[in-house]
Structure 1
Amino acid sequence: MNEPRSTTPRLLPRWAVPVTSGVTALLVWGLQMVTLQTWGASRGASLRGILMQWDAQWMTLISRFGYGGFAVGEAGTPGGDPIQWQSVAFFPGYPFLVRWVAAPVGAVTGLSGADATWVAALTVSVVAAVVMAWGVSRLALDHLWPAVTGRPAGEIASLVTPVVVTVLATAAPMGVVYWMPYSESLYTALTVWAVLMMLRRRYLAAGLLTLAAGLTRLTAAALILTLCLCAVAELWRWFRSGRRRAGFTTVARACAAPVLGAVGTAGYILWADGQAAGVGGYFAAQEQGWHSGFDAGAATLDWLRQWTFTGMTGYVISSWAMILVAVLVVASLWPLLGRWLPWQVWLPAVVTVAITLGSDGVMHSRPRLLLIPVLLLLLPFVVRLTAVLLRRPRWSVLLVPLVIGWTVLGFWVSGAMLIDFEYAI
């Protein structure tokens, strides 16, 4: 049988959790934009200029022109390398979704070209962030809260928890990227809902979400691996139950899910290999264009030795983000072994950390690349703390300064990395 969709008491309307998490996400978005606009104005920068840095340019150009037909620097010019040798590093899920949204946006607003794409990109990112917040809230209430407390969340907890975990997600250090023309909000939303479907044992839905995630980011490999282990777990459960016919449907769906989920990643890489054949295929293009390749953490360790205590603020922030996430992975063994963090949540987070820290590349982008592990691995601790404080009415007010403190920290790191740091993200 499937896991129950929700353990929220029936007295609470069904729309309460998505509305609470959505409104909270939009409030964070509004505050973040005001902060960036004010901070940027003091540096002579516009809000659009701030949000359109680095990968945002690539995403919007790919959305408008596809993987060729434009130039960035020397790439794509008559004397430079083909633009595809760099552009194929960006998976198509986000930019092509933006393209589809840009058409109705242009029809409604009268905008065209870069302006329509800009508005469409912001729309996709904000909507995806709201969907992500809803998924994080459902994950916290339906699975983590009962595991932590031994009972379903009450009405007050079912309203407070979405606020707290939405702030955890969207106001995190470097959480500004969720509101930019980047794929982070879309990919995180797909990841959270895929994990949620795994926990509910709705494996075909999880497979489809993983397929979409695999068209968005390469790190969807972490979800594919998790689906493989879900299939193994279902097979083992089926054999132990005496191979009953009633349970075979779930086993079949669990076994089909990782195959379905791998279609997106595998299909895109095969296509990208053809586009970058002149340089040796997708992974060779990653290495040549972005110096990105798996080296078992050698580049990460070298970076940490060089920049952890000295250098520009952005370098120091990037270094400590990597160190603290590694510590968080170790700390997460406590809730994992205590069975108040499901392994389906833990595994994709830890595999993402391994992929990120085990690869070379643009090191100062690591704080945003580690947002998903931070979210998934901190979530059980945040739910546990929320449960403890809500059980003691006098202590529950402590949630307010904790939420404000996390928001201030997140906004400061986001602003420092995006506005004051020369290399953005």
Structure 2
Amino acid sequence: MPVEDLGFRRAAPALAAFAAVRLLGLTVLAVWGAVAGSSPHTLLSARWDSLWYARIAAEGYGYEIALPNGDVHSNLAFFPLLPWLERVVAAPTGLSYGSAGLVVSVCAGLAAAWGIFAVADLLHGRRTGVFAVAVWAALPVGIVQSMAYSESLFTALAAWSLYGALRGRWLTAGLLAAGAGLTRPVGAAVVLAVWVAAVLALRRGERSWRMAAGSLLAPAGAAAYVLWVGARTGGGLLGYLEVQAGWGNGFDGGWAFARFVGAKLTSSAFPAGLGLVAGVVLVLWLYVACVRQRQPAPLLVYCGVVVALALCASGYFGSKPRLLLPAFPLMLVPAVALARWRARRAVLVVGAAALVSAVYGAFWLNGSGPP
């Protein structure tokens, strides 16, 4: 269903739904913090990865921590666009870099919601677009959308790049893909999606210099940063992979994650292991449903790469739900179903999910962390 009207009035219900779910999450976090004696601001802007991004914004690259086991955690593992934007916001406002990261996250979250709506609206109509955004905001790890993390920024760039590719707006798609490549390593998924869209357009007989330029521009961000890290570390093309190895990150096809789940299933943490298995099965089922839904090939490629990299990486198993957050095409499956329901029933279901997400987010940040 082609839709050209992407004005605020058309997207307003989706943006309002996103804002309502996020405000609910922040309200529950504030109440939890008042009871537990924790600071929501600190949890959102000055813990875990947020500290690394803020340090890059303040001091640049070069900071690292040597662990007793010999591993080295270098801030070169973190891509630069979020710290750059934190500097841009902090300079005129006087905010701390962590607080500036929250401002970036709020703006990027709204941009991501708008982009998800645009893609869903294009494919299935306005009602489905609103529910796609609401479901994405109400994910169990939705609190990350309100943190000084890069997921919201990346999702915004990815969603709008994919929309551009689907509409044949090649320069926009390529530029935003380059931005995504400067935000997270999984930016490769956006690049591949743009290339697939271009190949399909070529097969339809479309030719233009904009298509060629957008396709060449798409990998520029990721390539520039990876090459720069390689030159800085002396590791060449493998330099960035060596940096990630220092964090225990790599791609082993999911073997380490499978062993982690297996260990849970054979211990007193059996319920947690069972939950992990159920979660993986649900993600894979949703992806198969995306294929059956006949989503456009660029969306399937993008989502497939995001899911594969999240599930098959060898480190930081607790972060896998967060790493799946940009896989928004999965949300089109429940969104299409919800759009067919009566409004009251659908809103009640989404509202209940949002409440559970809010409570879980507050528990998560005040408990096990980091996400």
TM-score scaled by length of structure 1? 0.79
Partner in structure 1 of residue 57 of structure 2: 63
Deviation at 1:353, TM superposition (A): 0.9
CA distance in structure 2 between the partners assigned to 1:67 and 1:81 by the alignment: 21
Give the whole-Å Cα distance in 2 for the aligned partners of 1:34 and 1:140: 28
Q: 2:80 matched to which residue of 1?
A: 92
Residue 259 of structure 1: CA displacement?
A: 1.9
Instruction: Give the conservation status (yes or no) of the 8 Å contact 2:290–2:329.
Output: no
- Looking at structure 1, the residues matched to 360 and 274 of structure 2 have their Cα atoms a distance apart, in angstroms, of 11
- Post-superposition Cα deviations, 1:104-131, rounded to whole Å, max 9, x if no partner, equal 111xxxx5xxxx2122111100000011
Q: What is the aligned partner in structure 2 of residue 361 from structure 1?
A: 315
The answer to whether structure 1 residue 294 and structure 2 residue 251 are counterparts is yes
Change (3 A) 1:354 1:129: same
Instruction: Please list every run of at least 4 consecutive aligned residues from structure 1 whose deviation after the TM superposition is greater than 6 angstroms.
Output: 79-83, 312-316
- Deviations along 1:255-291, whole A, 9 cap, x unmatched? 3323211110011001111233379721111112x11
Tell me the residue number matched to 2:357.
Answer: 410
Say whether 1:398 aligns with 2:345. Answer: yes
- 8 Å CA contact 2:29–2:359 kept in 1: the answer is no
Does the 8 Å CA contact 1:315/1:364 hold for their aligned counterparts? no
1:219 CA drift (Å): 0.6
Structure 1 stretch displaced more, 130-139 or 304-313 = 304-313
Q: Post-superposition shift, 1:134?
A: 1.1
Q: Percentage identity across aligned positions?
A: 32
- Residue pairs, 1:311-390, within 5 angstroms: 311=269, 320-336=278-294, 341-373=295-327, 375-386=328-339, 388-389=340-341
Distance 1:315 1:30 in 2: 31
Residues 85-143 of structure 1: CA deviation (Å, up to 9, x unaligned):
5101100011111111111111xxxx5xxxx2122111100000011111111222222
Q: d(CA) in 1 for partners of 2:201 and 2:119?
A: 21
What whole-Å deviation, never above 9, does each CA across 1:327-366 have from its counterpart, x for those lacking one?
Answer: 3222322212xxxx22222220111111122221101000
Measured on the aligned residues, the alpha-carbon RMSD in Å equals 2.7
Q: Is 1:15–2:8 an aligned residue pair?
A: yes
2:227 aligned residue (264, 270, 283): 270
Check the 8 A contact 2:166/2:197 in 1, yes or no. Answer: no
Q: Where does residue 218 of structure 1 map in the other structure?
A: 185
Alignment CA distance shift 1:313-1:190 (3 Å): farther
Distance 1:82 1:402, change over 3 A: closer
Instruction: Classify the secondary structure of the residue corresponding to 1:67.
Output: coil
d(CA) in 2 for partners of 1:94, 1:313? 37
The superposition leaves residues 268-322 of structure 1 with CA deviations (integer Å, 9 ceiling, x where unpaired) of 001111233379721111112x111111111121122122585398877656433
Asked if structure 2 preserves the Cα contact closer than 8 Å seen for 1:300 and 1:358, the reply is yes
Letter in 2 for 1:6: E
Q: CA 1:237–1:162 in 2, change beyond 3 Å: closer, same or farther?
A: closer
Instruction: Give the secondary structure class of the aligned counterpart of 1:294.
Output: coil
The answer (yes or no) to whether the contact 2:132–2:334 under 8 Å persists in 1 is no
Larger Cα-atom Rg: 1
Per-residue deviation, 1:67: 1.1
Q: Counterpart amino acid of 2:243?
A: A
State the match for 1:48 in structure 2.
41
**Kept in 2: contact 1:318–1:366 (CA 8 A):** no
Distance 2:290 2:16 in 1: 29
CA separation of 1:355 and 1:211: change in aligned 2, threshold 3 A: same
Of the three residues 230, 250, 262, the one matched with 2:197 is 230
Tell me the SS of whatever aligns to 1:281.
helix
Contact preservation (8 Å) 1:6, 1:138: no
Change (3 A) 1:43 1:217: same
Letter in 2 for 1:327: W
Normalising by structure 2, what TM-score?
0.90
Alignment check: 8 A CA contact 1:86 1:285 kept:
yes
Q: Deviations over 1:191-226 (max 9, x none)?
A: 110111111111111000000000001111111112
**Distance of 2:173 and 2:15 partners within structure 1:** 22
In 1: Cα distance, 2:90 partner to 2:71 partner: 26
Runs of 5+ unmatched residues, structure 1: 9-13, 146-157, 239-246, 390-394
Match of 1:248 in 2: 207
The equivalent of 1:283 in structure 2 is 241
Conserved 8 A contact 2:286-2:333: no
Q: 2:255 & 2:178 partners in 1: Cα distance?
A: 31
CA distance in 1, matches of 2:263, 2:364: 19
Aligned length: 368
The alpha-carbon deviation at position 163 of structure 1 amounts to 4.1
SS in structure 1 at match of 2:148: coil
- 2:78 alignment partner AA: F
Deviation at 1:23, TM superposition (A): 2.9
CA displacement 1:37-83 (0-9 Å, x = unmatched):
21233332111222132111111111111113x56x557xxx99998
* Amino acid of the structure 2 residue aligned with 1:47: P
Q: In 1, Cα distance between the equivalents of 2:276 and 2:105?
A: 23
